[in-house]
Structure 1
Amino acid sequence: MDRRRVSTLGTRCLIALIVFLGLFTACKNEEKPPKEEEVVAKVEKPKDIFEFGFKLNDFIVKRDTVEKNESFGQILERNHVGYPRIFNIAQKAKDTFDIARFLQAGKPYTLLCAKDSLETAQCFIYQPNLEDYVVINFKDSMISAYKSKKPIKFVEKIATGVINDNISLTLEEKGLSPRLAYMMADDIYAWTIDFRRLQPGDRFKVMYTDKYIDDTIYAGVDKIKAAFFEHNKESFYAFRFTTDTVKGIVDYFSDDAKNLRRAFLRAPVKFSRVSSRYNLRRRIAYYGNRIRPHKGTDFAAAVGTPIMATANGTVTQSSYTGGNGKYVKIRHNATYETQYLHMSRRNVKVGQFVKQGDIIGYVGMTGNTAGPHVCYRFWKNGRQVDPFQQKLPEAKPISDSLKKKFLDYIEPIKKNIDGIPFEISEASGNFSVAENDSIDANLMSYNP
């Protein structure tokens, strides 16, 4: 081979090698792209949810309200339960809860359904109110029905206020429940202070408990423990105290142990108006303007409004007549009796003892009536009289044996309420006693 040719070939190979090494080094020195991190999806296990005593995670949960004219059978049939089984369920549950009779339109219910393709209903839970519920469990061959209540929490609070216009407006401005005003006016000071004639500058302090269902659902004011009201520069204390643990009779007493109530409530229904008074010379145009005495006092109210016993007593009649409609009569003692007419439904039986404020029926339009109301009749020594013209007796005074116990009981509470400044609610709204270090929360517990 020609020596020059070999030399040229070697030179070319050497150049190629140098170029290759240069390219290799350059590639090696280039910055490598960052390696992508591997993302691992985190699957969180769903939290266990419990309600009505069931683990809801185990079911498909359906919530709805009862429609007008909708039956229990229609609800279950729509959720793949056959009518023979529906009939059997209703029969088994009847002793606990008569579904056909008490299922009301607008009330909520919950269905716990199987996690299958049909989502077959296995349990029906009905809520007649926020607190109570009825469970009808038919998941297995054994059908069970029972009533229960949701867990309730009571939060102790204090409110104060100065009246500028009326007490309801004062409470509203502070974001407090208007029920506090109703309870003070009707339950505590009904016979002591006329709340329609409060004066600017009147002021109050009240210890009470709010009720919460499932810790979060506000269910209103439960009880007033104690109150102080300054009206026309005069002080009125009120302390809640149980005087009869057997019958569960509770009254409000002043700081010197005097009962603040009368033996009778002013009216058998709340938030109503007098539509017709007791009048022995009443003339009615419908009857040719002839005199037709009206021996009762009519309180107009919506159908279904609760009717209360105005005093403690025993039910002597719970019946129906053409004129009275559905009615209840109560004997309170040897002197007084009361009667309540035109009910839509009666809630008591003959011989039953009722306490003042107990619900004995509901406003209706049964008997001879032109509109929904309760006709309240009042007897004294066997003769019908106008209750508003009677000097009614005070409620039963505290017994001598309980008086010392009562005075000992209220002593720290009175000291506590005297120490509460009127600026509490104005400065920070209503609050739990536990959040205020200046107030002894132990004094807020209720007496048994």
Structure 2
Amino acid sequence: MQPKKLLIAVFVCLGIWSCKEKEKVEIKDLQTVVELEPVKEFGFVLEDYIVKKDTIKKGDSFGEILERNHIGYPRIFNIAEKAKDSFDIRKLQVGKPYTLLCNNDSLQTPTCFIYQPNSIDYVVIKFADSIEAYKGKKPISIVQKEASGIVMNNLSETMESQGLPYSLINDMSDIYAWTIDFFRLQKGDRFKIVYKQRFIEDSIYAGIESIDAAYFQHRDESFYAFNFMVDSTKNIADYFDENTKSLRRTFLKAPVKFSRISSRYNLNRRIAYYGYKLRPHKGTDFAAPIGTEILATANGTVTESTRRGGNGKYVKIKHNATYSTQYLHMKAQNVRKGDYVKQGDVIGWVGMTGNTGGPHVCYRFWKNGKQVDPFKQKLPAAESIPDSLKSKYLEFIKPLKNQLDNIQFEDTKIELPTEDNVLTSEIQ
């Protein structure tokens, strides 16, 4: 190799060595600067303790748990007495988690008992030196999300296929329970939602916080819904449309959730089994599994809660001078004659008592003493936004409506709705 080329090669090697050494120094420096944050839970640094986690078993008590971990009963009694003003140790529930923080030594003596009645709240009982008991909450973050979909089979399957929480489906059905007949959805019906989810410590899903706004397009008719605080003092909020009208009606569309109509009100019904004789059906049958909750469709007073003939076990409610409803074939009633019930209260459970070929509730509806088809009645709406709040409400929903309107649907080819593709079963 010529001297000039050799000199260049030496400088190149030195340069490479110098760069590598510099990288090593930088990496070394970086390693000394970056330190992992200690793992904390319930306000404690866990690496300072031996941590024992378990759940309350049948027969467990606060005393038995501590005794199993080498704390004597005189000490246990003293801890319980000092802690009782903050937490009643007798209220430990089977299946709920608890944590023991123990000394990091060979004895592993517990110094702290932490009980979690739910995923957010917890109770701390410290007894290392002095005894202290207090309640706390895990940090919660609220994240706003959006969703949309086109109904191809039923609302439940459409939302579940997108990985949306089941509770969100349930909340959606509650919002529109008074305005949309979910038992007659059509292919091509569409929805959009702006909602909030709760997360514990930014990572653990903790349920739906609220649905802030929703849009449902059913039979080419649009239904907006906006969650608005009507009375902040009493914490009363409700859903209203873009014109300040309440989405509620005086009656729910159905007395059961997530069911299907198996037989409609029909005064001209003829059944082959009875030789095609005229046997009018003056109720609407909602098929549902035995034990499904039956809900009062409006506020009122129970006038009957008994068992009689083909009706089986049933409940009848008088809502006012005009309207009454009846719920037949119950497995059992949950109310008595004279009870006052509110819309949505559980008044009984689906069964097969009386004349019935399968589990369902026969829902009967009276207007001025005559049985009528509830789906053909023009029922009054609940109160809308007070005049004093209308301008505030309209200003409040502007950004939410704009957000909803800008949510895009997936570009999916669908059949146009016809009488043949009406979805008679909403949620299986």
TM-score interval, normalised by the smaller of the two chains: 0.5 to 0.7
Residues 228, 238 of structure 2: 8 Å contact kept = yes
Give yes or no for the alignment of 1:173 onto 2:173.
no
The code of the aligned residue for 1:76 comes to: L
The one of 120, 127, 141 equivalent to 1:153 is 141
Residues 296, 346 of structure 2: 8 Å contact kept = no
Aligned to 2:114: 125
1:134–1:272: structure 2 CA closer, same or farther, 3 Å change rule? farther
Deviations 1:283-335 (A, max 9, x none): xxxxxxxxxxxxxxxx99879x9x9998899xxxxxxxxxxxxxxxxxx9999
- Offset at residue 228 of structure 1 (A): 0.9
Bigger RCO of structures 1 and 2 (CA < 8 A, at least 6 apart): 2
Give yes or no for the alignment of 1:395 onto 2:382.
yes
Give yes or no for the alignment of 1:56 onto 2:46.
yes
Aligned to 2:394: 407
The one of 133, 140, 144 equivalent to 2:129 is 140
Deviations 1:412-437 (A, max 9, x none): 322221122112999xxxxxxxxxxx
**2:396 and 2:35 mapped to 1: Cα distance?**
52
The code of the aligned residue for 2:95 comes to: G
The code of the aligned residue for 1:67 comes to: K
What is the aligned length?
326
1:202–1:132: structure 2 CA closer, same or farther, 3 Å change rule? same
3-state DSSP class of the match of 1:261? coil
Identity %: 57
Aligned to 1:200: 187
3-state DSSP class of the match of 1:159? strand
The code of the aligned residue for 1:143 comes to: E
Give yes or no for the alignment of 1:83 onto 2:83.
no
Q: RMSD of the TM alignment (CA)?
A: 4.8
Residues 161, 205 of structure 1: 8 Å contact kept = yes
**1:212 and 1:85 mapped to 2: Cα distance?**
38
User: Superposed, which structure 2 residues align to 1:301-316 within 5 Å?
Assistant: none
Deviations 1:1-32 (A, max 9, x none): xxxxxxxxxxxxxxxxxxxxxxxxxxxxxxxx
The code of the aligned residue for 1:131 comes to: I
Aligned to 1:116: 105
TM-score normalised over the length of structure 1: 0.59
The code of the aligned residue for 1:245 comes to: S
The one of 414, 420, 425 equivalent to 2:407 is 420
Give yes or no for the alignment of 1:94 onto 2:84.
yes
Aligned to 1:290: none
Give yes or no for the alignment of 1:247 onto 2:234.
yes
3-state DSSP class of the match of 1:252? strand
**1:67 and 1:61 mapped to 2: Cα distance?**
18
Q: Which runs of 5+ in 1 are unaligned?
A: 1-39, 275-298, 314-331, 344-353, 365-379, 427-448
- Offset at residue 207 of structure 1 (A): 0.6
The code of the aligned residue for 1:119 comes to: Q
Q: Which runs of 5+ in 2 are unaligned?
A: 1-27, 262-287, 301-318, 325-331, 335-340, 350-365, 414-428
1:241–1:53: structure 2 CA closer, same or farther, 3 Å change rule? same
User: Superposed, which structure 2 residues align to 1:248-327 within 5 Å?
Assistant: 248-263=235-250
Deviations 1:351-407 (A, max 9, x none): xxx9987xx99999xxxxxxxxxxxxxxx9xxxx99x89987533321000011111
1:175–1:258: structure 2 CA closer, same or farther, 3 Å change rule? same
